[in-house]
Amino acid sequence: MKRILVTGGAGFIGSHLCERLLKEGNEVICLDNFFTGSKSKIIDLMGHPYFEWVRHDVTMPYYIEVDEIYNLACPASPVHYQFNAIKTIKTSVLGAINMLGLAKRVKAKILQASTSEVYGDPDIHPQTEDYWGNVNPIGIRSCYDEGKRCAESLFVNYHNQNDVRIKVIRIFNTYGPRMEPNDGRVVSNFIVQALNGNDITIFGDGKQTRSFQYVDDLIEGMIRMMATGDDFTGPVNIGNPDEFTMLELASKIIELTGSNSKIVHLPLPQDDPTQRQPDISLAKEKLNDWQPVVKLEEGLIKTIQYFDQLLKDPK
């Protein structure tokens, strides 16, 4: 049995990770300040004898003896990370420093949940890990983009200077049950609008593309990355290479929900990427032939069922 710390463990992705780690027979400590996470996401885990949750902000040091650390703590949707931009930067940077310091002290292996946003509005397509990105350092998204880029730099330097055992993954658009209905992400936005019979709002002409990964595929990739040898640190893209336009996604959600919603267009936000698609060749090579197995329609059906129930009974 390993003792594993998950920061941001009460969030959308973190709660799924905690659940999977417990199923594999580990002791799990979930750390969250509940800024975007919630107890409702981990309520079913609270009775587990090897699960513990702690209300704590990663911008402050935390002391514990653990074998592994998954550092997920940070608001990840534009609505949330732009709400308090300075807090977002602090969470990424100070959170990385504090968790790396902990890993150094207790000799734990630590994984950083970085993001495809480090590529910005990419000049190459699909994106490979050796691409340095095209990020506006003073734009409205920079608090998140540059915070994550700085965190990656911290991880690499703690590894090079202090021999900390690090793993860095870059997460591409992920969806699934336990997303927040008001988080501003495209999948949750479209589903909630469709279920409520409201217009589906697409920013720009809708021809911009994204690649959508179901949360179970991401969790599998994270587990496999943590299990790799110390000679492989990443970064490695974890995402679904199947690419869809916003119009295609909206049409599919309207079809699956049976909604009468109409599509309306709004101005494109500043620095919104026009293309986003991962090259997962490295993940296939290094993570025991990892690749997504959940197709978009299958994942959307499960996510729609979750939101349908949530909207009927929001408790």
Give the residue numbers annotated as catalytic, written as ranges: 144
| CA gap 183, 77 in Å, rounded | 6
- Locate 245 and state its tokens: 């336009």
Scanning 196-295, the segments in alpha helix (DSSP H) are 215-226, 246-257, 281-286
Is 84 exposed, middle or buried, given 0-12, 13-18 or 19+ CB atoms closer than 10 A? middle
* Strand partners for 32: 55
Cβ burial 268-298 (10 Å sphere, 16+ → b, else e):
eeebebebbbbbbebbeebbeebebebebee
Give me the phi and psi of 17, to 5 degrees please.
-65, -45
| CA gap 55, 39 in Å, rounded | 10
Rg of the chain over Cα atoms, rounded to whole angstroms, equals: 19
The answer, yes or no, to whether the previous bond of 126 is cis (omega within 30 of 0) is yes
Collapse the DSSP code of 68 into the 3-class scheme (helix H, G, I; strand E, B; otherwise coil) and give the result. Answer: strand
Residue 173: C-alpha distances to residues 61, 199, 212, 228, 249 (Å): 30, 23, 5, 23, 13
- Residue 189 neighbours by CB under 8 Å, 6+ apart: 200, 201
Q: How many beta carbons lie within 10 A of that of residue 231, not counting itself?
A: 5
